[in-house]
Amino acid sequence: MDNEAFSDSPTHYDVIVIGAGLAGLNAATELLRLKPTLRVLVVEAKERVGGRTLSVSMKAARGTSIHADLGGTWVRRAQPNILKVIEDFGLKTIAQYSNGIKWAQLGKHKWRPLTKSELLRCMRGLSLCEALDLWWNVRKIEKLAEKMSVALYFTVDVTDPFSWCRAAEFNEISLAQWIRKNVTGRCARDALEIAARTTYGAEPDRINMLYHIIMCKLTGSFNPIKADGGSSDVLRVEGGTEQISKQLAEKLGKDRIILNRAVERLEVDESQGITRVYTYSTGAACEKVLYTCSQVICAVPLNLCSKISFSPPLPYLKQRLFESSMPGSMITFIITFETAFWREEGWSGEVISTGRTTTANEVLPLNCTFDYTSLTGIPAITGYMNEEFTDMDKEDRCNAVVQDLMRVFGERAMLQFLDYREKVWSKESFICGAPGAFMPCGMMDCWLTIREPFLSIHFAGAETASKWIGWMEGAVESGVRSAHEVLHQLGHHDIVSYTILKGSIYDNERKEPLAPSKHYEEKTSHSYRAVFFFSVLCLGILVYSKKYRLSYTARAMKPLENALVRYTTGIEWPHW
């Protein structure tokens, strides 16, 4: 590292926060709330705050405009941290509209109507066999999460999954493998696959089954037809969720936030008790600045941590965690219309679709859609697109989405079209994917280290949450947790809430999580067993045939037996 290329910042900071998303901004806010005299700096690689929350202005009905979300959109009534932040800033929320019929492409190419949001009621549009198959397999997944809970003494924070006897088994398979093995009906398979794409922004064959079970445990359930927006306990923020980050940034002050500055290297000098943060400008000016601080909070997506150089090097499992975590490839879109014509028809505006057709290799764009009508009645539809459309032009994606909506809603989806906005999150610089990162098969051993600090570097972000992983609630909770870790390290024990740090390495009652079992179990190969069994069987048949006279039926079947043996083994059956 050529230190001469970096100009030194004149200020030594107590804490530097990397990332101005919800996690980083809440970490800085919590630090200054509890200790206003701390010198805190937030560095952000992008030109804006907000991270994976993004609100855009759109042309809307009646000659107006609205601010709509292309990033994190929904919060739940059971999420206290994010709701408190929303309330503190006086922002308005709106209950997600889900009244009426939703349309689903499940089990067949044709659309079918589903009623209500509750799992059993919405199955009225399915046949009895399809409904039972779907209900039974959803219950299977939820039962697995319940069994894990029992094995881990009903803990909400599943930080020690390998204490469960079946954890290693599910760590080795993908969600798709589990679906193929356990789900027989096409309808139930489609529903579970759509839910995976909606939840993770990825195909089920990439998702670790153990990680999926943990997600179901931490978020309460896995309803493949409800998805994000189809429930009465789901809320949206009027005017967009990016307001939250902007309000937090305004509260911190412009002098504490530096935009367009990415971190290239973190160097911990334990002998001097400082951490050097090497940064470079992402704007027009090619400026490199070296900052020093006592503690660092790294609040960026897991997959981006692998792009930062650490000195000394990260522990093996931590490094593998960052390198193996896979970001979702979500494509979000919003369309405004002149009227909410779907409501006039008694529809909820919700669509769930596989995007697959009877034509080989044909994929349609829609994964799911939801009503996004504002408090003032400005109509809009938001939704997610299948990842196969990532490399298309924006205009082609827009046309494909409108045409797909016409298949469901009719010509008014085109005739009343006003404006279209989208975000291909996998191509967003310094984010590189949404809604979050997930673990692939065989990698849950390194996931155990996700919340562990490394020397003076602490980690926050929605993926590091102890409950609502991947949600805005999880981002806020992780930011607060990392702030209390830093305060503990700085020696301000009187203002640290150790309840928040429960389960962390700063918890005196914490038990070290178990690693997956590596014991070697010697077993006879299945092929040897098969050869032995068939050898004994053939010998028995030969001895039996030699000793006893064959019946007329056996004599009649003997030519067929000879032909079968000769065809399968190439061996001529002995004559006598």
Residue 263 counted as an annotated binding residue: yes
Cα four-point dihedral sign 526, 530, 531, 535: positive
Question: Could you write out the DSSP letters of every residue in 247-261?
Answer: HHHHHH-GGGEE-SE
Residue 45 counted as an annotated binding residue: yes
Residue 384 counted as an annotated binding residue: yes
Question: Could you write out the DSSP letters of every residue in 149-195?
Answer: HHHTTT-SS---GGGSTTHHHHHTSBHHHHHHHH---HHHHHHHHHH
Residue 12 DSSP class: E
Burial class (CB in 10 A: 0-12, 13-18, 19+), 11: exposed
Region of 446 (left: φ > 0; alpha: ψ -120 to 50; beta: rest) is alpha
Residue 278 counted as an annotated binding residue: no
Contact 223, 116 (CB under 8 A): no
Contact 158, 214 (CB under 8 A): yes
Phi (first) and psi of residue 224, to 5 degrees:
-70, -15
Contact 47, 259 (CB under 8 A): yes
CA–CA gap between residue 224 and residue 138 (Å, rounded): 8
How many other β-carbons are positioned within 10 Å of the β-carbon of residue 508?
6
Question: Could you write out the DSSP letters of every residue in 266-279?
Answer: EEEETTTTEEEEEE
Residue 44 counted as an annotated binding residue: yes
- Residues belonging to the binding site for FAD are 44-45, 263, 463
- Residues belonging to the binding site for substrate are 384
- Residues belonging to the binding site are 44-45, 263, 384, 463
